[in-house]
Amino acid sequence: MADLGDRTADDVDAPDPEIEQARALVHQGRNAEAIESLLATVKARPGFAGAYSMLGSILRFEGEIDAAIAAHRQAIACDPARAEAYSCLGAALCDRGELDAAIEAHRQAIALGANGAGAYAPLAAALLAKGEIEPAREMTAAALARNPTDAPAHFTLARLRLLDGDLRRGWEEYEWRTRPGVMWRTVRAFPCPPWQGEDPLGRTLLLHAEQGLGDTIQFVRFAARLEAAGARLVLEVQPPLAGLIARSFPCAQVLRKGEPLPPVDFHCPLGSLPHRFDIGLDQLPGPVPYLVPDPAAVAEWRRRLGGLGGLKIGIAWAGNPAYQADHARSFAPGRVAALIAALSRPGITLFALQKDPRPEDRAALAAAAGQVLDLSAVVGDFDHTGAIATALDLIVSTDTSLPHLTGALGLPTWLLLPRVPDWRWLLDRPDTPWYPSLRLFRQQQAGDWDGVLAALAAAL
């Protein structure tokens, strides 16, 4: 979901009472009221481009991408020379995966005179999303030349460096994620200072999840370094992970997000640990497996599935739809039928490990009931999912939290990736330094899942 940050297009306008009222509501966190106010404004003043621009920016922040795009297009219709409206339109189009249109909108903004980092940084992000790596580097450099403290440009630079495997310099840029305009809404205030690498011996450190479930699994491995250095750890994680993390780090106090926090000396988001430890490719993966499934649950699932015989493969195909790039990494609704067809063989039983299948997915699973056992009702809590996965022979998944889980458990996993993956999977490698048990199957062309499925079928 987009961050509103400081980049609403109305900032180019002279102060207007309706705009100022909406801005005040946004600053108070009352976005729904700001939207209602702006809708009333454009109804009364249908030619007010600035109101449409701000409306679109707030709608994008709320995840209402289609409505945001419509509002930005209306702003352009009211004022075709409004460069910032094209920039805002481009950002919303990028969220929806219309990358060519997004790039064109950003270039139009520059052609109309937008010349700050706020014009070049989103163009760089769109180019990166499309896989145009060198142009993305050039636009990122152009953005930072115009504003060396532009947080979105630094964050794009972080992703470029991390994709390249330049981890140490990438982590330094990755710290910009906490600034306005990036992922600043995940930033929290604590009554203790951030841990910057001070000697942890005898200190109590709070390590807290800040992003997705997969991020938590990926970075929690570094907690063992702090334990080994003599720190007392408090791990605050998402509720579905709490049981698994507590078993895996028995010396730590594990809390579910939202529970009261005990007194601590320092705090650190899990995503900052690689930077604090100066992690490079040469230091990965560290000890794996580092998560411990429930042995009783694993034994029970092995007993329940043992009579099936043959190869047992777990499958998942879609991530969190609220994630901006989910359209690229996940199969379209109902497309799981093609995955089932690619994996179906005599002697193979498939197990659906997808959390909350969409209606089209449920229909595909029902149609393939003789080939797939649907376990979606019992996944979600990672203790359950980890036990099931441990009882299977292979996991096949798109880029969801599941391959992080199975990788951290050391289980054989085939990961299906889009042409331009998330930074952690690097570029053009069949493996990943994070999880030795993973094998990567990559799109050769953007959107070409058929080629990935053909490679998958050939590898069975």
Q: What is the mean pLDDT of residues 249-265?
A: 96
Whole-number average pLDDT of the chain: 92
Order of strands, edge to edge, in the sheet holding 232-237? 253-256, 232-237, 204-208, 266-269
| Local structure of residue 288 (DSSP, 8 states) | S
Q: Which of 152, 124, 158 is nearest to 7 (CA)?
A: 152
Q: Which residue has the higher pLDDT, 446 or 150?
A: 150
**In angstroms, rounded to a whole number, what is the distance separating the alpha carbons of residues 30 and 39?**
15
pLDDT value of residue 11: 43
Q: What angle do CA 364, 213, 172 make, to 5 degrees?
A: 130
CA 20/CA 25 separation, integer angstroms = 9
Task: Report in angstroms the alpha-carbon separations of 30 from 25, 50, 120, 170, 317.
Answer: 5, 19, 30, 35, 35
**CA 289 → CA 284, 286, 299, 404, 434, distances in Å?**
12, 9, 18, 11, 11
Structure tokens, 13 = 């306008």
Kindly state the tokens that stand for 133.
């790596």
Neighbouring C-beta atoms of residue 226, cutoff 10 Å: 22
Task: At 75, list the tokens.
Answer: 């702003």
Split at pLDDT 50, 70, 90, the class of 6 is very low
Q: What is the mean pLDDT of residues 439-460?
A: 94
Q: What is the pLDDT of residues 274-299, one digit of tens each?
A: 999 999 999 999 999 999 999 999 99
Which stretch of 305-319, 321-335, 389-403, 407-421 has the lowest confidence by average pLDDT?
Answer: 321-335
Q: Angle at CA 399, nearest 5°, toward 376 and 293?
A: 55
- Segment 162-175 shows an average pLDDT of 97
Whole-angstrom distance, CA of residue 289 vs CA of residue 384: 17
Amino acid in the structure at residue 419:
R
Q: What is the DSSP letter of 383?
A: H
Find the mean pLDDT for residues 381-391.
94
Residue 13 in this model has a pLDDT that exceeds 90 = no
Q: Is the pLDDT of residue 52 over 60?
A: yes
Q: What is the mean pLDDT of residues 352-377?
A: 92
Mean pLDDT of 197-204: 96
The pLDDT of residue 15 is 63
Among 42-46, 198-202, 319-323, 413-417, name the one with the lowest average pLDDT: 319-323
Q: What residues contact residue 180 under an 8 Å CB cut-off, 6+ apart?
A: 3, 5, 6, 151
pLDDT-derived band at 416, boundaries 50, 70, 90: very high
- Which domains does the chain possess? 9-185 (1.25.40.10), 204-279 (3.40.50), 295-459 (3.40.50.2000)
Residue 378 to residue 385: CA distance in whole angstroms: 7
Structure tokens, 342? 């690619």
Confidence of residue 12 (pLDDT cuts 50, 70, 90): very low
Confidence of residue 249 (pLDDT cuts 50, 70, 90): very high
pLDDT at 180 over 90: no
Cα–Cα–Cα angle for 156, 119, 131, nearest 5°?
Answer: 40
pLDDT band at 7 (very low <50, low <70, confident <90, very high): very low
Alpha helix ranges (H) inside 79-192: 83-95, 99-111, 117-130, 133-146, 151-163, 167-174
The answer to whether 420 and 135 have CB atoms below 8 angstroms apart is no
pLDDT of residue 10: 40
pLDDT above 50 for 434: yes
**pLDDT score for 307:** 84
How confident is the model over 138-164, as a mean pLDDT? 96
Q: Is the pLDDT at 192 greater than 70, yes or no?
A: yes
Q: How far apart are CA 304 and CA 141, in angstroms?
A: 56
